[in-house]
A and B are shown apart, each in its own frame.
Chain A
Amino acid sequence: MPLTPEALLARIEDALGDKLVASRIAVGELTIEVKPEDWVEVAFALRDEPALAFDLMMDLCGVDYSAYKDGAREGARFAVVLHLLSVVKNHRLRVRTFCADDELPMLASLIEVWPAVNWFEREAFDLFGIVFEGHPDLRRILTDYGFIGHPFRKDFPISGHVEMRYDPELKRVVYQPVSIDPREVTPRIVREDHYGGGV
């Protein structure tokens, strides 16, 4: 049977010591937060500590917290969230760190720890503009060749900035500013707790 999140947290506290900034157990899942400068060191510890043995890097993604609760949240804007799985021990963990600089978010690459992280870091760079230092090949991955901007940031409009069409006179595809406006059918609403009896 998988370890309970509480027991896993005790082991992580032993392994990381004061590198552990915060931890939270909710809906049966354990989340820990670490400082960006300890990022690689923590990753090595999580992989190599025999009691933890996180041998599979499941997911790495960026999160832009600038519009969280309609902007009511304080603190750093960009977070990188890592999901780990231990095939040997059968447990999961979520690790989060906030990039120090909101203007130029930077973080060390984990490519030495889990080679699988390669494309995930490229994706976070492409979509959020988070720069991973030490990544051997930090190119855009999902967006178009020559794309400008980081589309998953909250200040990037859903309709984008440019659209593409074929120009019969130039006999090639041209880019031009978008002719559509972002349209919102259902507004985004944050209700107070237990609104209407709650779930």
Chain B
Amino acid sequence: MADIRNYTINFGPQHPAAHGVLRLVLELDGEVIERADPHIGLLHRGTEKLAETKTFLQAVPYMDRLDYMSMMLNEHAYVMVIERLLGLRVPERAQYIRVMFDEITRILNHLLWLGTHALDVGAMTVFLYAFREREDLIDVYEAVTGARMHAAYYRPGGVYRDLPERMPQYQVTRGKNEADLRRMNENRQGSVLDFIDDFTRRFPGYVDDYETLLTDNRIWKQRTVGIGVLDPDRAKALGMTGPMLRGSGIAWDLRKLQPYEVYDRMDFEIPVGRAGDSYDRYLVRIEEMRESNKIIRQCVDWLKRNPGPVIVDNHKVAPPSRESMKSNMEELIHHFKLFTEGMHVPEGEAYAAVEHAKGEFGVYLVSDGANKPYRLKLRAPGFSHLAALDEMSRGHMIADVVAIIGTLDIVFGDIDR
């Protein structure tokens, strides 16, 4: 009788299916997982500690770099916690812009998740389609903020600037002739809002395309149905939020149940799964993209009709306009003080959470009245999701670990912080 022993293998930290720098120590019995021990922290930059040495405004761009797949959602929780302690009321137009960009970001995140998850499981095509649509939305990011990813657009008190009147167009290059350009610039003739509006008309058809490729695909179902099952009570005990919780059948969504900004005026549904497996979570996220699309349309509609300010008129928090800064002594002092010393947040503590694309993203801020946070704690959804990987993957095969990592929708920027 041969001596049978379990063996341990190392998965990552450089592995295309590890979605970043995840080192996973797997204890195997044959090909069956006995224990999975994720080693994280390879991307730990100490964002929370760095924020303690920066003024409140200087820490905004750090938030983009947390979950670098849903940039503005991170910023949103951060500016919300500052606004709560300051007792600021954000102008209505800024609230609509934030809701619209939250949902654009959610679609961006889900498209990337869908593409990479399918790629891990073996379907190449979805990835290419998903990135085609991401390109349009990333162009919107660029047109509005000047940056394709790390936007730094949300500011305490509102958003940095209003939506531009003109959508940038493709220019003539050696590779593109006039006819190509006319076709490519067809939906870029109007404002940014017109371009987003056009996108929301096209997008439901694209989601149908993804569903044609995957929903009834035999291989896709064999790889995801019954994999990583979480029953509702266990999902709650493990601290699951967002699509991970809704996939198990719990209709919990902060946008509906603890609405912030103008989500209470939006008309949308909360999709929930039933079986709590990878396939149900896939269906939930696909439906969420359709619901996000509906919310974007409602915001575009409102924003086209209602011009107005997009940031508060309180110069202790938001800078004065360039013109008044250059012609008015008082405003010049405000501008100087805001960008050198920064704003002071009153002593106290607060926790603000948003329904992030991945789950609940919360920011806990302790302020002692200084111009910098005393303690900033970022509650990343992926952190508790990845902690459950051990339990979810036990008894599955090695190949299923890849499918489970995919369904967790993890990004190391926010797990390691």
Residues of B within 8 A of A85 (CB): 360
Query: Can you report 14 A-B residue pairs in the complex whose CB atoms are below 8 A from each other?
Result: A2-B257, A120-B384, A142-B41, A142-B44, A142-B417, A151-B49, A158-B49, A158-B50, A186-B58, A186-B340, A186-B372, A189-B371, A190-B368, A199-B88
Q: Are A116 and B351 in contact (CB under 8 A)?
A: no
- The docked-state distance in angstroms from the alpha carbon of A81 to that of B351 is 11
Least distance between A75 CB and chain B CB atoms (Å): 14
Given contacts A26-B348, A83-B362, A199-B316, contact A184 B53 (CB under 8 A): yes
Residues of B within 8 A of A165 (CB): none
Flag B157-197 by CB within 8 Å of A: 1 or 0 each.
00000000000000000000000000000000000000000
Q: Are A94 and B351 in contact (CB under 8 A)?
A: yes
Interface residues on A, range: 35 or more
Q: Are A68 and B368 in contact (CB under 8 A)?
A: yes
Given contacts A27-B348, A59-B364, A144-B41, contact A196 B48 (CB under 8 A): no
Residues of A within 8 A of B360 (CB): 58, 85
**Residues of chain B in range 50-94 having any CB-CB distance to chain A below 8 Å:** 50, 53-55, 58, 84-88
Q: Does B239 contact A (CB under 8 A)?
A: yes
Q: Does B46 contact A (CB under 8 A)?
A: yes
**Residues of chain A in range 99-129 having any CB-CB distance to chain B below 8 Å:** 114-120
Least distance between B10 CB and chain A CB atoms (Å): 13
Q: Does A143 contact B (CB under 8 A)?
A: yes
5 nearest A-B residue pairs (beta carbon): A116-B239, A142-B41, A59-B379, A119-B387, A61-B377
Flag B336-348 by CB within 8 Å of A: 1 or 0 each.
0100111110111
- The docked-state distance in angstroms from the alpha carbon of A114 to that of B346 is 33
Residues of B within 8 A of A119 (CB): 383-384, 386-387
Least distance between B70 CB and chain A CB atoms (Å): 19
Q: Are A141 and B379 in contact (CB under 8 A)?
A: no
Contact check: which of A59, A140, A158, A189 meets B377 at CB < 8 Å?
A: A59
**Residues of chain B in range 214-262 having any CB-CB distance to chain A below 8 Å:** 236-239, 241, 245, 250, 252, 257-258
Least distance between A185 CB and chain B CB atoms (Å): 8
- The docked-state distance in angstroms from the alpha carbon of A196 to that of B314 is 13
Given contacts A186-B54, A199-B346, 9 further A-B contacts (CB under 8 A): A61-B364, A114-B239, A141-B41, A142-B416, A158-B53, A186-B340, A186-B372, A189-B344, A199-B317
Flag A141-159 by CB within 8 Å of B: 1 or 0 each.
1111000000110000010
Chain B residues with CB under 8 Å of chain A are: 40-41, 44, 46, 48-50, 53-55, 58, 84-88, 236-239, 241, 245, 250, 252, 257-258, 314, 316-317, 337, 340-344, 346-351, 353, 360, 362, 364, 366, 368-372, 374-375, 377, 379, 383-384, 386-387, 416-417
Q: Are B351 and A29 in contact (CB under 8 A)?
A: yes
Please, which residue of chain B has its CB at the minimum distance from the CB of A57? B239
Least distance between A57 CB and chain B CB atoms (Å): 6
Residues of A within 8 A of B88 (CB): 199
- The docked-state distance in angstroms from the alpha carbon of A199 to that of B252 is 35
Q: Does A21 contact B (CB under 8 A)?
A: no
Q: Are B237 and A114 in contact (CB under 8 A)?
A: yes
Least distance between A115 CB and chain B CB atoms (Å): 5
Flag A22-61 by CB within 8 Å of B: 1 or 0 each.
0000111101000000000000000000000001111101
Q: Are B344 and A191 in contact (CB under 8 A)?
A: yes
- The docked-state distance in angstroms from the alpha carbon of A151 to that of B41 is 13
Given contacts A68-B374, A186-B341, contact A87 B41 (CB under 8 A): no
Least distance between B77 CB and chain A CB atoms (Å): 12
Contact check: which of A31, A90, A196 meets B258 at CB < 8 Å?
A: A90
